[in-house]
Amino acid sequence: MVVGCQHMELLKAKGLKSTQARRDILALFNERHTLLRAEDIFAKVKKKGTDLATVYRTLETFEEQGIIRKVDVRSGSDVYELAGHHHHHIVCTKCNIVEGFNDCNAEDISSMLLKNSKNFNVIQDHSFEFFGVCKSCAKR
């Protein structure tokens, strides 16, 4: 698999110029459900001369273009992952580990909401995450 090439294609498809920083940052997200904060990314790309401001700007651009999305893990700093693969998360409120899962019964919830809603008759999208305590934290 030629990862670098794929990323260039994606940037091109979104009409974005393929800069070194954009390719490097996108490459860090190459796995589905890889959660990254701006600081994590900066730690990996700074040796190539990319500064933190560029990291923030690139994340903003990627989010606008729907390449990545913000995940609410209640950690204080924004966490991102690749967009386009529909799933939800369970987050440990003690150690912040995050597990992804694909089950989604949002259609049932959506039709229930719409049935009871005064103001809406369309739901286009949804996001929700679950919070709990992981097994290893529960042992402590």
Can you give the binding site for Zn ion, defined by CB under 5 A?
33, 81, 92, 94-95, 100, 104, 106, 134, 137
Q: Are 67 and 76 in contact (CB under 8 A)?
A: no
Owner of token pair 């694909």 = 102
Q: What is the CA radius of gyration of the chain?
A: 18
Task: Select 3 or 95, whichever has its Cβ closest to Zn ion.
Answer: 95
Provide φ and ψ at 12, rounded to 5°. Answer: -65, -45
The answer to whether residues 80 and 32 touch, using CB atoms and an 8 Å cutoff, is: no
Least gap, CB of 139 to Zn ion (angstroms): 10
The closest of 25, 31, 32, 97 to 59, measured between CA atoms, is: 25
**Smaller CB distance to Zn ion: residue 120 or 131?**
131
Report residue 79: phi and psi, to 5°: -120, 135
Q: Which is nearer to Zn ion, 11 or 92 (CB)?
A: 92
Distance of closest approach, residue 95 Cβ to Zn ion, in angstroms:
3
Q: Kindly tell me which of 43 and 95 has the beta carbon lying closer to Zn ion.
A: 95
**Shortest reach from residue 45's CB to Zn ion, in Å:** 21
In this complex, which beta carbon is closest to Zn ion, that of residue 11 or of residue 71? 71
CB 55 within 8 A of CB 25: yes
Supply the minimum distance, in Å, between the C-beta of residue 49 and Zn ion. Answer: 30
CB of 41 to Zn ion, least distance (A): 16
